[in-house]
Chains A and B, each alone.
Chain A
Amino acid sequence: MSVARRLAIGSVAIALCAGCAGRTSFFAPAPVVPLRLHEIAGEGDAARRASQRLVLQGLASDAKGQTRLARTSYERALQVDVNNPFAYLALARQAVESGDGASALEYLEQAELLLGAEDLRSPRVEPHLAGLRGAALRARGEQRAASELLARASDLAPSVWDDGQLSAAELR
């Protein structure tokens, strides 16, 4: 093998290693820009848009620590559009934050079903689904499964999930 060829192979190997240095594993998925709900506030029909506004209001309240008011906003969002998956997602996030893993998993179940049904389960939602499920399992003491999911969320959206949690502002 010529020196030039060896050098070329070596350079490619170094480049690959450098590229993977920030990832948790070699096979980690490519990062995505995680979804923030204000980006889709104008989508859907009138009821969905109103519902989304209420979810955003709730997230704003949550960010200020007004959790009860926030929860009411999420529930009102469901009153306007009971099939709004993002309202369940916001409820799941709040439940995780309050340490109620069981409720969070219930909300996530609804959110995932509705996201899938409406073709809204884009790669940009995946980090939140994985991360919230992981955090919910962690709250229930299922550490091993939780770690895997949180690692996946962190791989997908390190800017948000590196700390293992999703703040209301990050989802908003």
Chain B
Amino acid sequence: MPRAKPRSARKPAGARRGRRVLRVLALAIAGGAFVAGFAAAGYFLSLDGSVRARFDGRRFAVPSKVFSTPAILYPGLDWKLVDLRGTLARLGFREAASPGHLEPGEYTWGASRARVHLQAFEHPTRSEPARDVVLRLEGPLIQEIRELPSGRELGAVLLEPEPIGAFYGVDREQRELVKLEQLPPHLVDAILAVEDQRFEAHRGIDLRRIAGALVANLRAGAVRQGGSTVTQQLVKNFFLTPERTLRRKFQEAAMALVVEARYDKHEILEAYLNEIYLGQRGPTAIHGVGEAAHVFFGKSARELDIAESALLAAVIHSPNGLSPYREPERAVRRRNLVLEMMEEQGRLGAEARAKAEAEPLRLAAVTPDPGDARYFLDLLRRQLSDVYDASVLETDGLRIYSTLDRRAQRLAAIALREGLADLEKRFPRLRSEQPARALQGCLVALRPQTGELLALVGGRDYATSQFDRCTQARRQTGSAFKPFVYAAALEPLNGAPSITLANLLDDSPLEISTPSGPWRPENYDKRSHGMVTVRQAIEGSLNIATARLARDVGARRVADVARRAGIQSPLPIVPSLALGVASVAPIEIARAYATFASGGIRPELQSIEDLVDEQGRTLERRKLRFERVIDAGTAYLVTSLLEGVAERGTAAALHSTGLRGPIAAKTGTTDREQDLWLVGYTPELVVVVWIGFDEPRSLKIPSAVGALPIWRRFVQDMTGGQIRGRFPKPAGVEEIEIDPVTRSLALADCPDRQSEYFLAGTQPTSICGEAGSGEQPAGDGVAERPPGREPGGGGEFFRWLKRQL
């Protein structure tokens, strides 16, 4: 039987306690480690969730970009008029010093020869290759275009569409996504050389790099390298705030480990190259090498050379402090440092480095923020929001090719802004210290046959007021509505028109009963002019004669013509409709006049050519659409009347101040001169100018003084003063000589003759000199003798008209 162990042989009580403590400690540590491990696992799982949510979903918000219609160059074009050099600068072209080898995006300019290496334009259906072309210049004209090196003569070449804006989200980030495999290897090498030379080797964090960076920076006495890997920088930009705390740094490292564990290097690097911040352009942040290549060098990232790639890599360190625009010398020093590091790391040969270091800084010209197209961009956004969510427009990177003519838009903005400033200078009472009460205006220009919107300026300053007065405002049109009255009267109804241009109209005082009491229209000069010809009535914008004509024709019929022409706003069927009492948007008036300009064929408004998604698929394609709504003859007669307004009438200042060629125009001044309009067209352009205050008050000037100079300047700048083409006279219109006195047919023996246009079969039947010659009135306001030959009648009228002019 064993004996009990002597007391001294047993372990002392202290040791037993120590073991117990150790056991408890071990258990506590194990428990703590378990809990910590569990917590860490949970933490990493949560990080993994965040990382996957971002990486597996849509990684980048890419704002949809809007482009103008491309400029077209062709022999015979006035390159000065179209501001070709300015256009090249805005497109980011660089002027090369020597005419030797030109890269895409470079040009040279001489006295008689310009050479432009056009950049490739990518589009699903109408891509254009990069091509080197020579323009032979003679004075302001392009005489010939030849392609190099073949020497082939070209009939026309297209410049790429100009970017005019984008639909940003709240962060205003601009980027163009690139694929890693599309980028030149030297760009990736340059970035990795300076940002993360062991990128392929590490697992998200690089302790050697941190130590190396510390040593390198100490040796250099400056921060040459950062300690963060590309993965850490990506994580920081993607998920974290920019604060510099240990906690955030830890989070960054942990997330970098998760990203590296979850995704391959290719994906990480591609995401980084698309995410990295590279500076500001105005309020817009430039992200990614794709966008930066366009902003800095005016070219695609895939076309960057070694020096340009090194510059982009250099800028990453401090995008604003090393901006090549603001700090060119610092940027070049940093670029050369990148090149040096590339050579040290075996990514670049010595010769290539020396060559790249010798490259001067060649940057794309800084193009001003195209703020003057923002009303147009807003219109596009409103139109597109019917089909696409705002979030799609802000994040899905659509490419919207618009109809906007960049040059027309710029000239329109200048004409309106300076025109309003001139008016305020001439009439100081129009000035207001409060921007919200400032004199306002809008200008819209269309191509009449196709309805393409070429320019839209909805106000004098977008920054002050984003309300678009061309498309969102409804204002009374005043006399600018009268052409619809004349169209209604000249249009054959049941075979015969109410009037012809041989008729006379009665401009004597008129009173029309209305439910709200008698209505007595007055002329602008507060006088009546007796019997006047149709031309005199519209050229002098006579209210009484027009109101009487509208009464005879019927307000309903006038409204019908206006609607058919393109007015969509409600039109009250009241006698005063004839004098423009209806409130209408300027863009509606533009479209309705376009119907006259294109011979009675109403165009559908077009603002988009096509819309392409990020993958290069065409989502929308415009279709030119028109519809005949007024017969060609009637439309031509109205155009002819409006040509008279521009030649002799209230808009005669258009021609007298130097515009040559066909113009049809109508002034419009509403009651108390609260709205001033000039609506006019040439064979290729419809332009509407409206001037007024947002809270209507009198300007105390007529439209010929307020709106006309702006219209004139815009058309002058667009055309160089020589308007091309002519208004097409349709087959159903005849030009016939009539006696200006009796308004009857004038044969060779008639003492006075003048040409007039008639729809076939509606010309006068009586012959001058015959008993009873002269047209019969078509209504009680239409008579047969012109005022000019009546004592105190037309003579007075002409004197009045002269005073107006």
Question: Which one of A68, A75, A116 lies within 8 Å of B728 (CB-CB)?
Answer: A116
Residue of A nearest to B632 (CB): A113
**Residues on A close to B: CB < 8 A?**
45-47, 49-50, 53-54, 57, 68-69, 72, 75-76, 78-80, 82-83, 91, 103, 106-107, 109-110, 113-114, 116-118
A118 to B125, CA, bound (A): 33
Q: Are B450 and A47 in contact (CB under 8 A)?
A: no
Q: Are A50 and B625 in contact (CB under 8 A)?
A: no
A46 to chain B, nearest CB (A): 2
Q: Are A109 and B684 in contact (CB under 8 A)?
A: no
A113 to B730, CA, bound (A): 6
Residues of the B chain whose Cβ atoms lie less than 8 Å from the Cβ of A91: 624
Q: Is B414 an interface residue (CB 8 A)?
A: no
Q: Are A110 and B126 in contact (CB under 8 A)?
A: no
Q: Are B72 and A80 in contact (CB under 8 A)?
A: yes
Residue of A nearest to B403 (CB): A79
Given A46-B76, A109-B626, A113-B599, are A54 and B728 neighbors across the interface (CB < 8 Å)?
Answer: no
Given contacts A53-B74, A83-B449, A113-B730, 8 further A-B contacts (CB under 8 A): A46-B76, A68-B621, A78-B449, A82-B448, A83-B683, A83-B725, A106-B627, A113-B601
Residues of the B chain whose Cβ atoms lie less than 8 Å from the Cβ of A113: 598-599, 601, 632, 728, 730
Given A79-B69, A113-B632, A117-B730, are A103 and B625 neighbors across the interface (CB < 8 Å)?
Answer: yes
Q: In the complex, which residues 55-85 of chain B have their Cβ closer than 8 Å to any Cβ of chain A?
A: 69-70, 72, 74-77
Q: Are A116 and B626 in contact (CB under 8 A)?
A: no
Q: Are A54 and B156 in contact (CB under 8 A)?
A: yes
Q: Is B729 an interface residue (CB 8 A)?
A: yes
Q: 24 A-B Cβ contacts within 8 A? A: A45-B724, A47-B76, A50-B155, A53-B74, A53-B156, A54-B156, A57-B155, A72-B126, A78-B450, A79-B69, A79-B72, A80-B156, A82-B447, A83-B449, A83-B683, A83-B728, A91-B624, A106-B601, A106-B627, A109-B626, A110-B601, A117-B599, A117-B726, A117-B727
Residues of the A chain whose Cβ atoms lie less than 8 Å from the Cβ of B76: 45-47, 49-50
Q: Are B155 and A53 in contact (CB under 8 A)?
A: yes
A82 to B450, CA, bound (A): 8
B719 to chain A, nearest CB (A): 12
Residue of B nearest to A102 (CB): B625
Q: Are B125 and A69 in contact (CB under 8 A)?
A: yes
Residues of the B chain whose Cβ atoms lie less than 8 Å from the Cβ of A106: 601, 624-627
Tell me if B's interface is mostly helix, strand, loop or mixed: loop
Q: In the complex, which residues 536-561 of chain B have their Cβ closer than 8 Å to any Cβ of chain A?
A: none
Q: Is B731 an interface residue (CB 8 A)?
A: yes
B400 to chain A, nearest CB (A): 16
Find the residue from A53, A57, A79, A83 having the highest chain B CB count within 10 A: A79
A47 to B158, CA, bound (A): 14
Given A49-B155, A50-B72, A68-B126, are A116 and B731 neighbors across the interface (CB < 8 Å)?
Answer: yes
Residues of the A chain whose Cβ atoms lie less than 8 Å from the Cβ of B449: 78, 82-83, 110
A151 to B293, CA, bound (A): 60
A141 to chain B, nearest CB (A): 19
A30 to B370, CA, bound (A): 59
Q: Is B628 an interface residue (CB 8 A)?
A: yes
Q: Mark B714-754, 1 if CB is under 8 A from A, else 0.
A: 00000000001111111100000000000000000000000
Residue of B nearest to A73 (CB): B126
Q: Are A46 and B731 in contact (CB under 8 A)?
A: no
Find the residue from B70, B126, B730 having the highest chain A CB count within 10 A: B126
Q: Is B623 an interface residue (CB 8 A)?
A: yes
A45 to B141, CA, bound (A): 13
B707 to chain A, nearest CB (A): 24
Given A83-B683, A110-B598, A110-B626, are A46 and B75 neighbors across the interface (CB < 8 Å)?
Answer: yes
Q: In the complex, which residues 613-632 of chain B have their Cβ closer than 8 Å to any Cβ of chain A?
A: 621, 623-628, 632
A126 to chain B, nearest CB (A): 13
Given A68-B126, A83-B728, A117-B728, are A54 and B450 neighbors across the interface (CB < 8 Å)?
Answer: no
Residues of the B chain whose Cβ atoms lie less than 8 Å from the Cβ of A110: 449, 598, 601, 626
Given A46-B77, A83-B449, A103-B625, are A76 and B730 neighbors across the interface (CB < 8 Å)?
Answer: no
Q: Are A50 and B683 in contact (CB under 8 A)?
A: no
Q: Are A109 and B728 in contact (CB under 8 A)?
A: no
Residue of A nearest to B157 (CB): A50
Q: Are B598 and A54 in contact (CB under 8 A)?
A: no
Find the residue from B70, B158, B725 having the highest chain A CB count within 10 A: B725
A83 to B156, CA, bound (A): 17
A46 to B142, CA, bound (A): 10
Q: In the complex, which residues 751-805 of chain B have their Cβ closer than 8 Å to any Cβ of chain A?
A: none
Q: Are B125 and A72 in contact (CB under 8 A)?
A: yes
A42 to B449, CA, bound (A): 24
Residue of A nearest to B731 (CB): A116
A94 to chain B, nearest CB (A): 11
Residue of A nearest to B599 (CB): A113
